[in-house]
Every structure is written in C-alpha cells, then in structure tokens.
Amino acid sequence: MIRVMLPQHLRTLAQVSQEVELPAESAKTINMVLEALLIKYPILRGTILDQGSGQRRPFIRFFACGQDLSLEPLATPLPEAVLAGREPFRIVGAMAGG
C-alpha cells in the first residue's frame, strides 16, 4: 500500500480522518499516485493540480522521506520507502500568509 497524507482541508473535503491508502501497483510515480488519489476521491480534482494546466497548484508541496519533491517532474519515481509503505507521501499546503 502507498500511504498518502493530506492537509487538513483536503481531508475534510475527502471525508477521511487519517492517511489515505492506495494500491502500490497503481502508483509508481508522483503523477500516478496523484491520479490514483483523484480516482478514489474525485472531490479532490482541481485542489492539488490545476484543472486547466494539470500542473501542481502554486501553494501545494510534495514531500517524502525528508525530501521536497515539489519541483521534481511529475513523472519522477516515488522513493522505494514510499512504494514499500514504510514512509508516507505527503501533500502539504505551503506556509503562505496568515
């Protein structure tokens, strides 16, 4: 299982309380994990990736294994520890104003 951690507002929208789990075979890259997430929770469509451009929204960040993956191409493979379910893939709302 891939473990995905969502920011509070997206957990509320998706009506989940803790981590989201996705099948490991469906998510080898950042883009694949996001697509699997949106298939399971279509309510999140447009809240992480821009609906028009398909790119990461400006104040969304991606972290895993202590690394900031936000600026990596969406086709970047996920770290092995994420694929193995030992570490979560974190979707974070950036600190940006009060």
84 lies in the binding site for another protein (CB under 8 A): no
**Residue ranges in 14-43 that form contacts with another protein under rule CB under 8 A:** 43
93 lies in the binding site for another protein (CB under 8 A): yes
Count each helix (H run) and each strand (E run) in the chain, helices first: 3, 5
47 lies in the binding site for another protein (CB under 8 A): yes
75 lies in the binding site for another protein (CB under 8 A): no
Among residues 33, 4, 29, which one has the least CA distance to residue 18? 4
4 lies in the binding site for another protein (CB under 8 A): no
Outline where DSSP puts E strands in 1-98: 2-5, 20-22, 60-64, 67-68, 89-93
d(CA 52, CA 1): 30
**Binding stretches for another protein (CB under 8 A):** 7-10, 12-13, 43, 45-48, 50-52, 57, 59-60, 93-94, 96-97
